[in-house]
A and B are shown apart, each in its own frame.
Chain A
Amino acid sequence: MFRQLHVALRTGIVTEPAPRDADVERLGGRLARERRRVFGRSLAIRHVDAGSCNACELEIAALTGPHYDLERFGLHIVASPRHADCLLVTGPVTRNMAEALLRTWEATPHPKLVIAVGDCARDGGIFRGSYAIVGGVGDIVPVDAVVPGCPPSPVAILAGILDVIGRLR
């Protein structure tokens, strides 16, 4: 039990430095200044899996680890959309998840952001045109930014989120 403490103290901080630029498509007309004012120092993120293959989820999960550490920017993952400011949506929106995604968005209090992560979330990705999906996330809920990639790296996702809230230097 105490050996863990010993290891923790010996290993030290392994967090990598913050990303510098982002490859993100910004949509939506919300003013960057307003976003920075409200969410600049604290953003609660709720992840929604709208039918993804889970590759994006693995990358997002890495964000909570010590190497990418999204908490140092004031971002944290929450369980309930009522607590959330930002919905991080992955996956092409399958027919079964369309209603659920919409309800999640409705359950989130204003002001809110939606960031679509991955090519599937942007427009269906490699599943584009399939009978089982509705389309990109933008077809169900209004999207503020899209982080392209299949899957995008954790740094790219982090940079995308930071860019949306105006924290990217």
Chain B
Amino acid sequence: MDEVLSALTGIELIDLASRTQFKTVLKTTWIKSADDLEEFDRLFELFFADFSVPEEALSKSLARGELQQPLQELLDQANGALSPEFRQMVLEGIAALAATLPEVAERVGLGEIRYPLQTSHFAQKIRRELGMDNWASEADHLLSLLEQQGASEEDRAALEAGIAERTGVFGEMIREYVGRQAQSLIKKDDLRDLPKDIMEKGFGALTPWEIQAMREAIREMVQKIRDESALRQKRKQRGRFDIKHTLRRSLAYGGIPVEVAFRKRKKSKTRIVTLCDVSSSVWNASRFMLHLLYSLQDQFDKVRSFVFVDQLGEVTDCFERHEVNEAIETALNQADIPYNRYTDYGNVFKQFFEEYMDAVNRKTTFIVIGDGRNNFFVPGEEYLGRVRSRARRTIWLNPENRGFWKFGDSMMHRYAKQCDEVRECRNLKQLVEFINQLTL
């Protein structure tokens, strides 16, 4: 509300005829995040298209005063042959016609549009309602009249070009107008479908739309975790009484301990190494795990991340350089590991042990996300054991229902012995619980 009022006050302060300034006022008062700027630009162009396009499309030739007068007479002469819409277009430009669009749209029943695919159908309906299909022949008629009057070749060409330009732009505007209607309807439908229990829905069952929606939920979650953690830090920060420091400070006040000093507790941040299975069965869980970890990166000492199917690839770099959502996509595309293979945990642990053991030290929490289904390859749990012996903690998150762990090619029972903790992590709720503990 406050922001709307600001915008209104702002508009009074600027030159309203300037589109750039008008746009800047709306932008600066309404948009407060760099991520939203692009969307704002898109919507602004879409919404205020009605005002801008005719202005730019106003062909100089038509706007020129000398042509205007005879044109009026000409149109009066040919009155019977020209439709009122055509006359309006030629004389007043398309801005005036655009203002009638909502009314025309109602006449053709645009409200009944259901799918974006119907856009061109409805656009055509509006064109027909306005008689635009006849505009070409009407233009010809007008031009021949002009010729009879002995107008110069130049003037005729100018008029012809002007009419063509306006007709083209107006056609575009109709399409955009219809498209906008279609889009607003579609958004509404999607929102209705969003389940409330999205947090408890299994990772595997999420639709792409829900994954999108989840990002917002994650953002809120991250903010909450961070606030809590900040509060905790604040309370914890005051450590024991610091005699030395207090005495030193008291010297300034003639030996009276006016300022009492306390030792500051050092923040002990966890160092994290995470191995994420990105085969299709586990990908969603990994994706959210990475998302949460990197959104909370400042809560940890260092996060190093690897993704794997049957081979390991490090993706830490992607996350350091890109924004989280973007990084997840890049990580998937960039890590040079073949995706169309069978998951091979044994090989992955071996590879990690041989190539990346320098990432692990006493401060490291080692996290594996995967279903532990090894496709009957050699399990290689001894390598996991060796990693564990060097790390502070080793945790396995399994996005599969605990009940299934014993069956088929799941090697969870063997890997579990090499871990300090094994958790079922089937939905966002469980994942958030885990991450929250991790930041403690």
Q: Do A and B make up one complex? A: no
